[in-house]
A = this chain, B = another copy of it.
Amino acid sequence: MATPAALLGHGGRLGAARTAWPNAPTPWLDLSTGINPCPYPVPALAPETWSRLPDPESLGALEQAAAAAFGVEDPSRVVATAGSEAVIRLLPRLLAAQRVAISAQTYGGHAEAWRIVGAQIVAPGDPTADLRVLVNPNNPSGRVLPRDQVLDLTDGPLLVDEAFVDVDPALSVASLAGAPGHERLLVLRSFGKFYGLAGARLGFLVAEPALAARARQALGDWPVSGPAIAVGLAAYADPAWATQTRLRLIEDTVQMDGLLRRAGFEIAGGTTLFRLTRAADAPRRFEGLAQAGILTRPFPWDETLIRFGLPGRELDWRRLANALESL
């Protein structure tokens, strides 16, 4: 069958998968996103976390903890948002860009957000662009641009989406974003992917203080939920968990690549949160996995590609291994 359109736009669309393959074994194993399947443990939440309006002091403490984790000296440059998608949709209303350079083979939310406001999407190298968007590491290719090459691109306004950079924080330019001499550099950080808590909706914009202030104004006084503030505060204050997770993700990736190669996939790229594979008969393989209740991520621009997120539980690893063997 043809892949449902809903599954070509974003990962995580289990509802659409259930509709398309009603007879697949349940529960579905969702490998269609790049979200860490072994999440940061949600701490016990005080009842006030739910009941009270989040206090500006708590929000400020979260922004400080995130700034420290990102290496940003001045926390006023760090704006907490309800997920990086919220700020991706907001930026076209704050920046005056008309011609935005975005690769066609990256996270689709950027182009979508700019198209909504009528901006034109141009090719990454286009000299007429008045804003360049770079996803680094890129999703889904995993292509990584070294820091100095990222900074070379700031001859004009540059938005760097670092949604997956927590797996390799040395790559991040967040510490410079909006700092004196780097006013044209904006960085987005995502909480949910590396910390495995995408449902919490937490992300950050790092930008020069005046733009950060405008973003705060546009988002209002309570941009992030009390539960998300509490879990973000705990997570960013726990560098040991982050270090351990980075190492585990590397080990899991090695294991994953072994499984995928044995099943005849070529590893075309990825980060330690997802693997991009290529196979001439990828549509057949995607379909076979879906019939086994395993959702992966196809891409509209190249039907030989499939992106795999990592399984978490031992059970899920075995289920994937079995399904890959039966393809």
Contacts and interface: CB of A to CB of B under 8 A. Distances in A.
Q: For the side of the interface on A, what is the size category?
A: 35 or more
A53 interface: yes
A89 B221 CA distance: 10
A10 B52 CA distance: 13
A201 interface: yes
A197 interface: yes
A222 B85 contact: yes
Interface stretch (A54-62, A66-74, A176-184): A54-62
A86 B223 contact: yes
A198 interface: yes
A101 to B, nearest CB: 21
A220 B89 contact: yes
B223 A82 contact: yes
Given A199-B49, A217-B116, A224-B201, A82 B85 contact: no
A241 interface: no
Interface in A123-144: none
Nearest to A33: B53
14 contacts: A12-B53, A15-B56, A15-B58, A33-B52, A33-B53, A50-B231, A52-B198, A53-B199, A54-B199, A82-B82, A89-B217, A200-B225, A201-B226, A225-B225
